[in-house]
Amino acid sequence: MKLVNKIAALAAIVLVAACGIRSSSTVEALNNAQAVGAPFTKNLAAEYRDFANYAQNEAMDFADALHFARKGLASASGVVVMPETLDDWDLGDANLIEMTTARNDLVDALENGGRETAPEKAAIAQARFDCWAEQQEEDWKANVPCKGLFHDALKDLQSVVGAQPEPEPEPAPVAEEFPAPVTEMPKGEPAPVEQAMFIVFFDWDKFNLSSSANEVLDAVAQELRKRTDVNGVVIAGHTDTSGASAYNQKLSMKRAGAVRDALIARGVEKATVRVEAHGENDLLVKTADDVREPANRRAQITLE
């Protein structure tokens, strides 16, 4: 083997090993994450967790394991992540046309009440679609297992979303001088304050809020409006390990401040909000120094 070929082979081995280490730490973070948010995001986090573990431990596909573990962490934080964007995958023209139609059908079902009325079925359908995209790029010409699984899951979801609820029967007349008192249905108890946690993610070296971040903050504000057992809100800013430690400390405070200002704009009392800056300490995904890790660029919101 020529020297240049040996160097190229060694570089490839090092690259694969590095991808394996990064996917392993991110998948492990997802395995340990406590999912919060709506039933749909919790179910979707579980689906991505299974997919990421399979990609890493059985298929040895570290890049895709890392990708879907990140989507799983976002879902576990309560973020509504969308099905895969097909432009991100290397698909043939025929596959792209077919999958674009399928994605549109899936998004229609999700947006028209699928996430709320059938969260488990919706999560399965989205995960199977993403799996189809991953397998299709691998050019499984004769057999793309997730394609059939997706169509079955979508059909199952559409049957629920399209079903019309049966009309309630008219109440029988009651021979009383005064109407009977109205009794409210018992409402589910909210999760304990110490278990409520939301995560907002940021782009590298940024502290502006993305559309997904704003969706999380909408959910936080809604949660605070309906609770009476919350005395305060704690926002902890974090960064990854890329860049200088002193700079990251300031950046993490800017991220916490951006979240604080957004919550105050949504009606949260300023006096009840406290911010903390952790810089590159307390990583969600453990990495070496000077590593850009999206899961670590975050602000965590907890309730007191």
Phi-psi region of 176 (alpha: psi -120 to 50; beta: other; left: phi over 0): beta
Looking at 1.10.287.110, 3.40.50.300, 3.30.1330.60, 3.40.50.40, the CATH number of the domain 193-303 comes to 3.30.1330.60
pLDDT category, 140, cuts 50, 70, 90? low
Mean pLDDT calculated for residue range 166-178: 46
Between residues 243 and 140, the one the model is more confident about: 243
Distance CA 10, CA 184 (A): 68
Predicted confidence (pLDDT) at residue 275 exceeds the cutoff of 70? yes
Predicted confidence (pLDDT) at residue 180 exceeds the cutoff of 80? no
Instruction: Please give the structure tokens belonging to residue 169.
Output: 């029967």
Sheet holding 197-201, edge to edge: 197-201, 298-303, 233-237, 273-277
| Winning range, highest mean pLDDT, from 5-9, 179-183, 229-233 | 229-233
Contact 29, 285 (CB under 8 A): yes
260: Cα separation from own chain's centroid: 21
Distance CA 2, CA 11 (A): 14
Backbone angles phi, psi at 169, to 5 degrees: -65, 150
pLDDT digits (tens, 9 = 90+) for 15-48: 344 444 455 778 888 888 888 888 999 999 999 9
Distance CA 163, CA 141 (A): 35
Give the whole-number percent of the chain exceeding pLDDT 90. Answer: 33
- With residue 154 as reference, give the H or E element that holds it: helix 145-161
Which stretches of 49-196 are assigned E, i.e. beta strand? none
Predicted confidence (pLDDT) at residue 236 exceeds the cutoff of 90? yes
Between residues 137 and 246, the one the model is more confident about: 246
Instruction: Please give the structure tokens belonging to residue 32.
Output: 């340990």
Taking CA 283 as the corner, what is the angle to CA 281 and CA 287, rounded to the nearest 5 degrees?
A: 105
Query: What residue ranges do the domains of the chain occupy?
Result: 1-81, 93-161, 193-303
Between residues 206 and 37, the one the model is more confident about: 206
pLDDT category, 247, cuts 50, 70, 90? very high
Instruction: Give the pLDDT of residue 274.
Output: 92
**Taking the model in full, what pTM does it have?**
0.54
pLDDT category, 11, cuts 50, 70, 90? very low
pLDDT digits (tens, 9 = 90+) for 59-91: 888 888 888 888 898 888 887 888 888 877 888
| Winning range, highest mean pLDDT, from 160-169, 189-198, 256-265 | 256-265
Distance CA 156, CA 122 (A): 9
DSSP 17-76: HHHHHHHHHHHHHHHH----S-HHHHHHHHHHHHHHHHHHHTS--HHHHHHHHHHHHHHH
Query: Residue 303: beta bridge partners?
Result: 233
Predicted confidence (pLDDT) at residue 163 exceeds the cutoff of 70? no
- With residue 289 as reference, give the H or E element that holds it: none
Instruction: Give the pLDDT of residue 195.
Output: 55
Task: Name the CA radius of gyration of the chain, rounded.
Answer: 23
